[in-house]
Chain A
C-alpha cells in the first residue's frame, strides 16, 4: 500500500509577534505566565487561588489592569466557566487552580472539554520541584491524573521553560481539533527569576499535525457521490462551529439542496428557521431526521463523530447509505461508522472545494418526506408540548415563550437532562456559538458556571442558563461568582421536583421503580436573594410569559424558577439498543 502521511505544508513563517514589554529584564516565572497570557490575547481568567499557585496570584496583583480574573467558588465552576467562555467567544478559555484538590477539581471539566473539543489552557500550581514524589502537602500527580482527559499536558519545573510551555499549550489547545491542555508549574518555577527573552507564540511542533492534508481525489469522489444521490442527507456537528465554517456550510447545503440535521453540539451553526434545517439527530432528536437516516442513499457527515446518542444501534444505522465523512481528526474516520469516502481536513477549506464540484439541485420530493414526518411529529408531540392549554406547565411551552421574547438572539446555556433535550429541541437560534451545553460528557452542574463564562465571552449578548432542579444544586455555589462580579446571567430553573431524565428511564425501562430520583429543592428565590440576586417563581401558566419578560428585562442577573409538570417525558425517543428508525413518538410505543 502506498505510504501516506498526514502532513500539512507549514505556511510561510509569519514573524512571531514578540511582546517586548519585559524583554531583556530579569522576571519571575509567575510574571512570565502573565506575560504569555497577554501576548496570547487573553483578557479573562477564571480561577481560584491556593498555596502552590500563590506566586502567580501575587504577580496577578500587578496585572489586574491588563487581565480580568474571575474568582469562582469552586475549581469545577472555574473550568466550566472557561468552557462557556471558549464556546461563546471562539477563543481559548484560561483557568487557574492550585495543586492537589484544586487541580483534581478540574478533572470533570477537562473530561467535558476533551469530549466536546473545547480549547482550554489550564494552569495549575504544583509543589516545589524537589518535593515531587514525597507526598508533600497538596501534592497530587496531576499530570498523570489528567493525561486521559487532556489533549496535551506538561509539567514545568524551571521558570525559563514557562514561555515555551505556554506557547505550545495555546497552539495545541486552539489548533486542529481543539481541546483542553494543562500546564502544571511547580512553585519554585513560579518564584524563580530568569532572563526573559520574550514570548514567542508557537506555530509549529514537529510531531503535531493540526490539519491533515486535503486530498482532491477524495473531494472529487465525494462530489460524485453527492451528484449521483437521489436522497442525500447532511448531518453536522460542532466541527462547523469550531472551524468557523458556518457560511461555507450554508453555501454547500444550499447549492446541493441538501436537507441537514444537527447534533446538539452542531446546534446554532445553521439558523433554526433555515429551510434546509430539518432538525435534531439522535435519541431525543426529531422524528424525520432519525427515520430518514435509514432511508437516505448518501449520508454526508460534517464535523461530527457519530456518538452513540446520535447513532443508536450501530448495526442498524444507515446501512443502506454511502457515507461521506468530513473531519479534521483522522482518528474519527471509521471509528464508529464505516466511511465510503473520507474527506480529511478543516471543513472551512474542504466544504468550498466540495461546493464547487456539486450540482445545483432541489431534491423537492426528498424534502417532502422530511416535511411529512415533521408534520406527524408536530401533531403527535410538538404541538401539545409547546401549546398546552390545561394542566401543569410543560418545559416545551417555557421554551416556546422564551423564543417569542428572545427571537432566537440569546445564548442558551443548558445543564444536563430533560430540560437540556427540550431546550435543544425547541430553542430558536439565529446565529452561531449560541448553544452551549455539555454534550459528550453530560456533566450535570455545567450550566450555571458555563453561563457565567459565556457572558464574559460574549458580553454584548443575552445569556440564558436553562437548568434543572438537579443540576442547579450541583454548582449552585457559583451564584456567589455572579454576586461578586455582577455578571448579567438569566437563570431559568425548570423545576419538576425530580431527577427527570433518570425518572423517565425508570418509568419506561424499570417498571416505574423510582429509585432516588425524588429530589427536594431549597427555596431558590430565597437562595438567590441571599446572594443579592433578584428572583421569582412561577407556578401558573398565566404568569409564565410576564415572568420570563421580567427576567429578561431585569437590569442584571435574575433567577426565575418555573414549576413544570412533574412526570412529563421527553419524546420522541430512540430507546437504548434500538436503531434510529425505531424512534418512538409516545410512551405506548416504547
Chain B
C-alpha cells in the first residue's frame, strides 16, 4: 500500500494505543540540484533525528534523482517530515513506507585473506551458504559480495570474523515500493509545462591558474 503523506482521513482515528517507533523507508523523487542533499538532510538534523541509511542515485526517469532514506521514528513524525521534504522547491514527490510495504536490499563487500579461503574448505562453504560471490581474487586477498537485509549481511560478518575478515563495507538501503507503478506517469503530470531551465554546476573551479582576479 502506497502511503502518500497527503492522505488525510476526514475523521481522525485517534486510537492512541501507544504509538511505537519503527523503521520507515522514505522515498524522495527530486530534481538533480546542487545543495538539495543538504536541504533534505537538515530537515532531519534540525529535529535531532538520525538517518540510519541514505542512498541517492538517478531514478528510472531521466533527470530525476531518487533518495532512499531509512529512519526509526513514529509514523506521525515521519508523515510530518515527509511534508516538510515535499515542501522543498526541487522535490517532486515523497513517499514513506513500512518494511512490509517494500522490497529492499543492501549490498555488502567483505575482504578476506585468500590463503585462508584456499586452505579452509569450511570458509568456502560458509560463503556459499551466505550466497556470497567473489568479486576480486588476488593472491593476498579476495573480495566477496552479498546482498540482502541487514541481518543477512551482518550474519556473514560474524561468521567470517574468526577467519580474519580484513575489511567490510555496506551500502545504504535501496528499496522498491511494492505498490508503486513507477515515476514515469507521475512525471508527466509534473511536466504539464516545460520546467524553468536548470542551473549548471561551477565550471570555473578547475581553471584557477588561468584566471586573474582581485
Contact = CB atoms under 8 A, between A and B. Distances in A.
A129 B211 CA distance: 10
A157 B201 CA distance: 8
11 contacts: A4-B6, A10-B193, A130-B208, A131-B208, A132-B205, A143-B35, A171-B196, A188-B213, A206-B190, A331-B80, A340-B11
B202 A157 contact: yes
Contacts of B11: 340
Interface in A86-137: 128-134
B136 interface: no
Chain B CB within 10 Å — which of A143, A148, A172, A206 has the most? Answer: A206
Chain B interface helix/strand/loop/mixed = loop
Interface of B: 1-4, 6-8, 10-12, 14, 30-31, 33-35, 38-39, 42, 46, 79-80, 83-84, 86-87, 89-93, 186, 189-197, 199-205, 207-208, 211, 213
A186 B199 CA distance: 14
A95 B200 CA distance: 24
B38 to A, nearest CB: 6
Contacts of B34: 155
Contacts of A9: 192
6 nearest CB pairs, A to B: A206-B195, A129-B204, A331-B83, A204-B193, A130-B204, A128-B213
A3 B180 CA distance: 10
Contact of A168 (B80, B87, B196): B196
Interface of A: 1-7, 9-10, 13, 128-134, 143-144, 147-148, 151-158, 161, 164-165, 167-168, 171-172, 186-188, 202-208, 218, 221, 329-331, 333-335, 338-342
Contacts of B196: 164, 167-168, 171, 202, 204-206
Nearest to B202: A157
Nearest to B197: A164
B102 to A, nearest CB: 15
Given A129-B204, A131-B208, A331-B84, A164 B199 contact: yes
Contact of B10 (A158, A207, A340): A340
B203 A158 contact: yes
Nearest to A336: B80
B207 A130 contact: yes
B92 A4 contact: no
Nearest to A189: B204
B10 A5 contact: no
Given A188-B211, A334-B80, A161 B199 contact: yes
A148 B42 contact: yes
B35 A144 contact: yes
B177 to A, nearest CB: 11
Given A128-B213, A335-B80, 9 more contacts: A129-B203, A130-B205, A130-B211, A133-B205, A134-B208, A188-B204, A207-B90, A207-B92, A331-B86
B200 A129 contact: no
B213 A187 contact: yes
A187 B213 CA distance: 9
Nearest to B204: A129
B89 A207 contact: yes
Given A130-B208, A340-B10, A7 B91 contact: no
A568 B79 CA distance: 44
B83 A156 contact: no
Nearest to A340: B12
B213 A131 contact: yes
A205 B195 contact: yes
A244 B156 CA distance: 63
Given A147-B35, A151-B89, A331-B87, A341 B193 contact: no
Nearest to B87: A331
Contacts of B193: 10, 13, 203-204, 206
B189 A207 contact: no
Nearest to A171: B196
A154 B30 contact: no
Contacts of B33: 154
Contacts of A335: 80, 83
Nearest to A150: B39
B204 A204 contact: no
A108 B11 CA distance: 40
Given A5-B189, A129-B205, A207 B30 contact: yes
Contact of B204 (A143, A157, A218): A157
B68 to A, nearest CB: 18
A186 B46 CA distance: 29
A206 B196 CA distance: 7
Contact of A338 (B14, B195, B200, B203): B14
A128 B14 contact: no
B198 to A, nearest CB: 8
Nearest to B83: A331
B208 to A, nearest CB: 5
Chain B CB within 10 Å — which of A1, A7, A133 has the most? Answer: A1
Nearest to A333: B8
A329 B4 contact: no
Nearest to B1: A1
Contacts of B211: 128, 130, 188
Contact of B83 (A1, A3, A164, A330): A330
B38 A156 contact: no
Chain B CB within 10 Å — which of A5, A151, A218, A339 has the most? Answer: A5
B10 A341 contact: yes
Contacts of B192: 9-10, 204
